[in-house]
């Protein structure tokens, strides 16, 4: 069922008053961002519920610009007086000549959520039962599983964005997630396996996804790694399993395509529109409209509709990601990539769902055509220098490829390389596209939900940081 939000978070007249206050105190352009955020989380560890918490945060951020100067203030008081006071403070930080014009706000300022089961409507006992069932399935997989941690989280974020261009838009974002982490104990020590499922949906997530099967996959990963051998060191061809390496492209390439970093000269892709920056088989997209994926939103945090943005097409750099102010300054449409962690933060250019599109090669043919190399099923966290593209990523699940076959599992090691080099050195792209696990992208101290993915593909050579002699 759909659930309508029948009225704006703040009345239109109150928003108009706040915008007029900002303009009458010297602003040239002003914006009000109102947010009502509710969240809940639970953790099940060592056969008991360790935590079960919930929170709510309501407030508004007001941004005022004068030329290149920006003033910003936030408040938890969303009354007429509270918003006016914040508007005055923001305008004072970006003082200019008084400019008072009527502001006609367009749009309803309301949003519709299409979730079937609101997570906050589900009894706590049912959530605990879900955690217990997941835990039991993981432990029953094998007696070598000695520890299981199951985490559940839910979030609802209602936002309202209005500005002096007349924008008056709202969104109702609901996300639900479950993760299970298993620890297996063997002669060679401890190994871990992890599985996560999360989408921009309600509690119906668990009608569509079998948590017991998910728990068993996590346990199987941990058990398999008990027999792992040390990862080799040196340069080798690397095949990355579908969905398992999207984070590499998010971190090593995606951030370098954000217009704020490009404009600062802090990106290796600055001033390269129209150049061949990747293999001709590579098309890279950022898409905030992508079904129910983790990074999907109807509008960005500046009230602009999200869209499918092709960043690299057939190897050629075609565009960057843009927020409202930078696109306005450049005289071009926004791409819907202005995002912020909360009402207490200024928006910046951020990714949504970033992925490499399908090629036309069967994944089994990619493996068979790789005589010796590394098969990466899952990447972990990493670090990247956006100015150079240099990166280091952990391999949380990887195997040897020997004579065209996946063979021995490997202990965790690192992938070391350079983003632009990886793009150029992708030899073949599979036809089995999948998105990876939901993630949180950090930038300048702010975190936002994002998705990433890719089909199976092979990079000609990457440096493996293993421990094998």
pLDDT for the residue 114:
85
Considering the chain, what is the average pLDDT of its residues?
93
Q: Give yes or no for residue 1 having a pLDDT over 50.
A: no
Which residues are bridge partners to 285 per DSSP? 310, 355
Write down the pLDDT at residue 7. 80
**What pLDDT, on the 0 to 100 scale, is given for residue 103?**
66
Distance from C-alpha of 435 to C-alpha of 290, rounded to nearest angstrom: 11
Cβ atoms of 391 and 418 within 8 Å: the answer is yes
Calculate mean pLDDT across residues 175-202. Answer: 95
Domain locations in the chain?
3-225, 234-465
Residue 188 has pLDDT above 90, yes or no: no
Rg of the chain on CA atoms, in Å: 24
Position 112 pLDDT exceeds 90: no
Beta-strand pair 446-454/353-356: parallel
The pLDDT tens digits for 31-62 are 999 999 999 999 999 889 999 999 999 999 99
Note whether 372 and 237 are within 8 A (CB): yes
pLDDT at residue number 2: 37
Rounded to two decimals, the pTM is 0.94
Residue 440: other Cβ atoms inside 10 A: 11
Per residue in 198-257, pLDDT tens? 999 999 999 999 999 999 999 999 999 999 999 999 999 999 999 999 999 998 899 999
3-225: in CATH 3.40.1390.10 = no
Give the per-residue pLDDT at 208: 93
pLDDT of res. 108: 83
């Amino acid at each position: 069922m759909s659930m309508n939000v029948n009225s704006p978070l703040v009345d239109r007249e109150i928003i108009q008053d706040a915008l007029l206050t900002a303009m009458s105190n010297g602003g040239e352009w002003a914006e009000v961002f109102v947010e009502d955020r509710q969240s809940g989380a639970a953790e099940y560890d060592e056969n008991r519920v360790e935590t079960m918490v919930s929170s709510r945060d309501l407030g508004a951020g007001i941004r005022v610009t004068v030329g290149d100067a920006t003033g910003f203030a936030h408040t938890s008081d969303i009354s007429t007086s509270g918003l006016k006071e914040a508007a005055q403070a923001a305008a004072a930080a970006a003082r200019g000549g008084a400019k008072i014009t009527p502001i006609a706000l367009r749009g309803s300022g309301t949003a519709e959520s299409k979730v079937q089961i609101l997570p906050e409507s589900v009894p706590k006992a049912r959530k605990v039962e879900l955690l217990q069932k997941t835990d039991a399935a993981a432990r029953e997989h094998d007696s070598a599983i000695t520890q299981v941690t199951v985490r559940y989280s839910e979030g609802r974020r209602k936002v309202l964005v209005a500005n002096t261009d007349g924008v008056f838009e709202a969104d109702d974002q609901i996300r639900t997630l479950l993760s299970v982490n298993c620890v297996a104990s063997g002669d060679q020590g401890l190994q871990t396996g992890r599985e996560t499922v999360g989408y921009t949906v309600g509690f119906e997530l668990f009608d569509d996804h079998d948590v017991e099967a998910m728990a068993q996959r996590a346990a199987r990963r941990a058990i398999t790694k008990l027999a792992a051998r040390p990862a080799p060191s040196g340069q080798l061809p690397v095949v990355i399993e579908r969905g398992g390496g999207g984070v590499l492209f998010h971190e090593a390439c995606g951030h370098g395509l954000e217009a704020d970093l490009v404009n600062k000269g802090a990106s290796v892709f600055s001033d390269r529109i129209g150049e061949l920056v990747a293999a001709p088989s590579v098309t890279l997209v950022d898409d905030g409209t992508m079904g129910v994926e983790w990074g999907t939103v109807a509008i960005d945090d500046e009230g602009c509709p999200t869209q499918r943005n092709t960043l690299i097409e057939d190897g050629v750099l075609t565009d960057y990601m843009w927020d409202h102010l930078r696109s306005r300054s450049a005289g071009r449409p926004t791409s819907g990539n202005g995002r912020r962690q909360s009402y207490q933060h200024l928006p910046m250019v951020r990714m949504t769902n970033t992925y490499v599109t399908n090629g036309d090669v069967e994944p089994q043919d990619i493996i068979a055509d790789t005589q010796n190399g590394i098969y990466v099923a899952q990447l972990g966290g990493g670090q990247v220098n956006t100015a150079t593209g240099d990166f280091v990523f952990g391999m949380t699940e990887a195997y040897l490829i020997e004579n065209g076959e996946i063979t021995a599992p490997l202990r965790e090691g690192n992938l070391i390389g350079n983003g632009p080099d990886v793009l150029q050195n992708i030899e073949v792209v599979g036809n089995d596209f999948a998105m990876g696990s939901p993630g949180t992208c950090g930038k300048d101290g702010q975190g936002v939900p994002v998705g990433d993915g890719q089909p199976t593909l092979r990079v000609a050579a990457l440096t493996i940081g293993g421990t094998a002699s």
